[in-house]
A and B are shown apart, each in its own frame.
Chain A
Amino acid sequence: NAGVTQTPKFQVLKTGQSMTLQCAQDMNHEYMSWYRQDPGMGLRLIHYSVGAGITDQGEVPNGYNVSRSTTEDFPLRLLSAAPSQTSVYFCASRTSGRGYEQYFGPGTRLTVT
């Protein structure tokens, strides 16, 4: 199993540009989520999905969109990039239900200039 994969690993955007961060998992997990990691802030939840066709907002959703058309894929879209969105983004997946381990992807480092 490849686990959770993310592309790209690095990205530089100009303010106002849009892009999609890709996330895929091959573990047949129902629950998938996106976090951003900023220095001294830990990880904060952006959006999550409990299954195909179902998404919801986390703690810091503004400026981001998600969709879940398949169990495997959970892309994160930046509609109009801002310097405040410079961060490291992690995708994660797990079996539904509390107490199950979340498996994290390797991350995408995004810089917005």
Chain B
Amino acid sequence: AQSVTQLGSHVSVSEGALVLLRCNYSSSVPPYLFWYVQYPNQGLQLLLKYTSAATLVKGINGFEAEFKKSETSFHLTKPSAHMSDAAEYFCAVSGGGGADGLTFGKGTHLIIQP
């Protein structure tokens, strides 16, 4: 079985500051990991994914994430927050939920302070 834990249901950072959203996973098979972003009243959009190639994955909008097997982590970072980054962020692992469906974390709401 797979599971995802996102530390912090709400994270607040100042504009221009580092963004760090934490994700830890458990998986009985080598994991495929995803970060999705959801803007208010919209569907989910893929930010980036890890599929066993490079451990440092670069995504859209300046985000990146590093896969650390020893720590079972896949934290999302961005060097400098922008007001437009305010959204809900979901980490997900593939392989759970039937026929390689996605198992999601509960989400982290990112707040950007001006």
Chain A residues close to B by CB (< 8 Å): 4, 31, 33, 35, 40-45, 48, 50, 56-59, 90, 92, 97-99, 101-102, 104-107
B90 in contact with A31 (CB, 8 Å)? no
Interface size of B in residues (CB-CB distance below 8 Å): 27
* Alpha-carbon gap, A57 to B99, bound state (A): 10
* Structural contact, A101 and B102, CB atoms closer than 8 A: no
Chain A residues with Cβ below 8 Å from B99 are 31, 48, 50, 56
For chain B residues 32-51, which have a beta carbon within 8 Å of chain A?
32, 34, 36, 42-46, 49, 51
Is A102 a contact partner of B102 (Cβ separation < 8 A)? yes
Assess whether B102 is in contact with A41, with CB atoms less than 8 Å apart.
no
Contacts known (A40-B9, A41-B106, A98-B94); A58 close to B101, Cβ less than 8 A: yes
The answer to whether B43 and A106 touch across the interface, beta carbons within 8 angstroms, is yes
Task: Say yes or no: is B104 at the interface (Cβ < 8 Å to chain A).
Answer: yes
**Chain B residues whose CB sits within 8 angstroms of the CB of A98 once the complex forms:** 32, 94-95, 100
**When the two chains form their complex, are residues A48 and B101 in contact, meaning their CB atoms are under 8 A apart?**
yes
CB <8 Å contact, A56 and B98: yes
Closest to B30 in A: A98
Bound: A42/B105 CA distance, A = 6
Asked if A45 contacts B49 (CB within 8 A), the reply is no
